């Protein structure tokens, strides 16, 4: 393994979970806001201006929060990566995310689902309904 990959691997292993959890939560909120905004903007249906304004404000605030998470993460990495390693890490991460988005788009096109839409039933293909719970002992 090259020294750069070793440093990046160590950096990722040492990276605390909260920024990743925070990023996931923020991304989930942004998706929910976009879906709610799309619902408000249906053609032929009058949109609620107050709801649209709140959703737009929420989207903008979410983008600002994501930027802060990225800045905090970069500041943390500055403690154990050189500027060149940080730049390489960020470029590798950007390429990875671009590729993930490309693959998602290709999958949507194969299924005939538009961007941001879910197939009929709201679940991904092959995804089973929620977990089944077993009855408690003695309750039957």
Q: Round to whole Å and give the CA distance between 84 and 86.
A: 5
If you compute the radius of gyration of the chain from its CA atoms, what whole number of angstroms results?
21
Report pLDDT digits (tens) over 71-124.
998 999 999 999 999 999 999 999 999 999 999 999 999 988 665 555 555 544
Q: Is the pTM of this model over 0.75?
A: no
Q: Please state the separation of Cα 90 from the chain's center in Å.
A: 16
Asked whether 35 and 116 are in contact (CB, 8 A), the reply is yes
Q: What is the torsion angle, in degrees rounded to the nearest 10, for the CA atoms of residue 68, residue 89, residue 24 and residue 31?
A: 80
Between 91 and 137, where is the model more confident?
A: 91
Q: Kindly state the average pLDDT of the residues 2-24.
A: 71
pLDDT at 17: 54
Instruction: Select from 16, 6, 1, 2 the least CA-distant residue to 81.
Output: 6
Nearest to 41 by CA among 65, 23, 64, 59: 59
């Amino acid at each position: 393994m090259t020294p750069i990959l070793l440093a990046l691997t160590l950096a990722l292993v040492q990276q605390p979970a909260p920024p990743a959890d925070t990023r996931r939560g923020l991304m989930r909120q942004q998706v929910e806001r976009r879906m709610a905004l799309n619902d408000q903007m249906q053609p032929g249906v009058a949109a609620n201006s107050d709801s649209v304004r709140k959703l737009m404000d929420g989207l903008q605030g979410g983008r600002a929060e994501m930027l802060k998470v990225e800045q905090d993460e970069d500041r943390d990495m500055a403690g154990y990566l050189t500027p060149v390693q940080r730049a390489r890490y960020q470029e590798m991460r950007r390429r990875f995310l671009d590729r993930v988005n490309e693959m998602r788009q290709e999958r949507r096109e194969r299924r005939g689902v538009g961007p941001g839409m879910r197939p009929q039933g709201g679940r991904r293909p092959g995804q089973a309904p929620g977990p089944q719970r077993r009855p408690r002992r003695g309750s039957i």
